[in-house]
Structures are given as structure tokens and as C-alpha cells.
């Protein structure tokens, strides 16, 4: 980690004035994406300070990653791209550095993530499908995921979809998870923007036990980073049997476009205790709560709290 983490430019990770950092190269790379520069011409090397992923498969099939431990990745730990038929099981991922996501399948199909322990400096699992023009031009969604039997400790989110999600994501099933940490921000998070676009749909999470989290059990955000001309969509999300002992600021957060509300979100047979406020929401449609208790009281509907 001494060789990589300070490249992010944060003093917390050892960066000091006068040292190199990723900012300039990262900005240039994003501009290359916007300008649709061919990937083979996006060449960065010494002096650019772009941290690599730890393990990356590209356009592969029939991948098995099993019974290993990963510690202190430069950036994302496991990053399959445009790949199919992936099994990731019985891993232990311990890495609290910058952007240290645990498993980030991108534009992948038929993925099983099972019985894995996450203690990460960023999202534990982040499902992706391309950033901005890259994701839209390729147009491959992440689809058909099963996530089960995993334990999440620290991380920005337990199960996350986005933010590089321009190709969309669908048919995501997560069950039998355990999460708890004062530094775990969210249980389920979908993050996107109108710079990204894409549709996230058919997400089903059930049987999740949570000790503590910091911000929200469920958060939908359509204003992550920059805005653009590609309005995203989030629909058909079900959370069932979510049991939280000591929640954070909110139970549910929704920040969506008026013209593209979060549609058909359901919470069923769930109990969330210890939150400061129930909701922080704006635009939603066809939201249903069934047998949901928050802070000891039954909540029958998710209400709009912001104009």
C-alpha cells in the first residue's frame, strides 16, 4: 500500500505537497472518454499516478476465484469486465485504502458471489457497466447476479450498483447477508447520474441482518457526480426481511428526477431500529411498505419529504 495509496492525492494516505497524484491524469482520461478516443490510444504510464486494479479479467468466460485472501489493493480488488459465467466464493478481502472496492463486476453476465468476507475502504460489492460514453457505446448491461452468504464490515456500501452504470443493470438477487460497522455507510445503494444514464431494474434483496450502519439502509441517488443529458431510471427494487439493530441517519434516502422517479420500490417484513429520521426522499412512484417497523412503529408508506 505504501507504493500506491498516496497516489490518490489525499493526505490521509500519505500524500504531501510536491508529490505526484492522480488528479491530472484522471481528468485527462475522463476527457478522452468524452471525446471517444479509442481505448488503445489512452496510454498512461510513469508520471501519471493512475492506480491499477488488483485482479482483472477482460472478455473472459467460465471464471472461478476461490479460497484466497486479498489485502491492500492499489484500487478495486477484483474487476471482471465484459465477462460471463463467474464464480467468486470463500474469499477474504481486507483492504481499507482509497477506492478499495471488494468485487466490481462490470458489464458481466451470470455472476455468483458467495460466502465472502469484505472489510473494504470503499464499496464491498459494486456492480458496474461502463462510464458515460464508453458504457453507452458498448451497451452491455450487468445481468443475472446472485450474491449470498457474504459478510460486510466496513465499506461505503454493502451491495452497490453504480456509479459507472451507463450500460444498465438487471436481475440482481442478494440474500442471506450479514453487515455491521460504524463505518458501513449503506446496506443497499444505487448510484448514478444523468451523465451516466442507463436503467437499473429488477433488484431483489432479502434476509439481511445488520448491526450498525452510518447513513441509510437503502439509498437511491440519481445525482452522483456530474449531471448531463442522459436521465437514468431505477425501478422494480424489493427489499424483504431486512433486520437492523442500530441504524444511522435515515432508513431510506431517494434523490431522483421529477421526470424519472424511483418506481416500484417495495420493503416487506422488515425492522429498522435506531435511525435519526425515517426518510429523506423526493421523487418516487408506486412505492409500497408491507409489515415494516421503524423505530418501534409500523410504517405503512414511504412519504416524500423534500420539494
Give the CATH number for residue 284: 2.160.20.10
Looking at the fold, whether 2 and 143 belong to one and the same domain comes out as: no
Looking at the fold, whether 148 and 12 belong to one and the same domain comes out as: no
CB 213 within 8 A of CB 183: no
Among the listed residues 101, 119, 122, 185, the single catalytic one is: 122
Does residue 305 lie within any of the structural domains?
Answer: no
State yes or no: is 122 an active-site residue: yes
Q: Give the pTM.
A: 0.97
For residue 149, give the 3-state DSSP assignment: coil
Q: What is the pLDDT of residue 305?
A: 82
Residue 40 pLDDT > 60, yes or no?
Answer: yes
Instruction: List pLDDT tens digits, range 283-303.
Output: 999 999 999 999 999 999 887
Looking at the fold, whether 186 and 46 belong to one and the same domain comes out as: no
Does residue 106 lie within any of the structural domains?
Answer: yes
Instruction: List pLDDT tens digits, range 68-114.
Output: 999 999 999 999 999 999 999 999 999 999 999 999 999 999 999 99
Does residue 304 lie within any of the structural domains?
Answer: no
Looking at the fold, whether 120 and 254 belong to one and the same domain comes out as: yes
Residue 1 pLDDT > 70, yes or no?
Answer: no
Instruction: List pLDDT tens digits, range 170-217.
Output: 999 999 999 999 999 999 999 999 999 999 999 999 999 999 999 999
Strand partners, 93: 70, 118
Q: What's the number of domains the chain is made of? A: 2
Q: What is the overall mean pLDDT for the chain?
A: 96
Whose CA is closest to 162, among 102, 104, 217, 75? 104
State yes or no: is 246 an active-site residue: no
Q: What is the pLDDT of residue 307?
A: 55
Q: What is the pLDDT of residue 3?
A: 84
Looking at the fold, whether 143 and 78 belong to one and the same domain comes out as: yes
Considering the chain, what percentage of its residues have pLDDT values greater than 90? Answer: 95
Looking at the fold, whether 165 and 273 belong to one and the same domain comes out as: yes
Among the listed residues 79, 119, 123, 156, the single catalytic one is: 156
Query: Residue 10 is part of which domain span?
Result: 1-51
Whose CA is closest to 302, among 48, 80, 36, 272? 272
Does residue 16 lie within any of the structural domains?
Answer: yes
Amino acid at each position: 500500500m505504501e507504493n500506491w495509496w498516496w497516489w490518490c492525492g489525499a493526505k490521509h494516505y500519505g500524500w504531501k505537497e510536491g508529490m505526484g497524484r492522480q488528479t491530472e491524469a484522471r481528468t485527462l482520461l475522463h476527457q478522452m472518454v468524452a471525446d471517444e478516443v479509442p481505448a488503445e490510444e489512452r496510454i498512461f504510464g510513469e508520471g501519471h499516478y493512475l492506480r491499477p486494479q488488483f485482479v482483472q479479467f477482460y472478455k473472459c468466460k467460465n471464471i472461478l476465484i476461490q479460497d484466497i485472501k486479498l489485502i491492500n489493493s492499489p484500487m478495486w480488488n477484483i474487476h471482471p469486465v465484459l465477462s460471463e459465467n463467474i464464480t467468486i466464493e470463500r474469499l477474504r478481502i481486507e483492504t481499507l485504502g482509497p477506492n478499495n472496492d471488494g468485487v466490481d463486476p462490470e458489464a458481466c453476465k451470470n455472476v455468483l458471489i458467495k460466502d465472502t468476507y469484505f472489510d473494504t475502504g470503499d464499496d464491498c460489492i459494486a456492480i458496474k457497466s461502463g462510464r458515460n460514453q464508453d458504457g453507452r457505446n458498448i451497451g452491455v448491461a450487468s445481468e443475472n447476479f446472485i450474491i449470498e452468504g457474504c459478510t460486510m464490515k466496513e465499506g461505503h456500501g454493502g451491495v452497490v450498483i453504480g456509479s459507472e452504470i451507463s450500460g444498465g443493470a438487471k436481475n440482481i438477487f442478494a440474500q442471506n447477508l450479514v453487515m455491521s460497522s460504524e463505518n458501513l455507510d449503506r446496506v443497499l445503494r444505487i448510484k448514478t447520474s444523468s451523465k451516466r444514464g442507463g436503467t437499473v431494474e429488477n433488484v431483489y434483496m432479502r434476509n439481511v441482518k445488520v448491526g450498525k450502519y452510518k447513513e441509510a439502509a437503502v439509498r437511491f441517488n440519481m445525482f452522483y457526480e456530474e449531471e448531463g443529458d442522459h436521465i437514468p431510471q431505477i425501478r422494480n427494487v424489493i427489499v424483504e426481511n431486512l433486520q437492523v439493530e442500530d441504524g444511522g441517519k435515515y432508513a431510506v434516502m431517494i434523490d431522483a428526477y421529477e421526470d424519472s422517479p424511483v418506481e416500484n420500490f417495495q420493503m416487506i417484513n422488515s425492522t429498522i431500529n435506531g435511525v435519526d429520521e425515517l426518510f429523506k426522499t423526493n421523487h418516487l412512484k408506486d412505492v409500497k411498505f408491507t409489515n415494516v417497523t421503524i423505530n418501534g412503529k409500523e410504517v405503512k408508506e414511504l412519504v416524500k419529504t423534500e420539494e
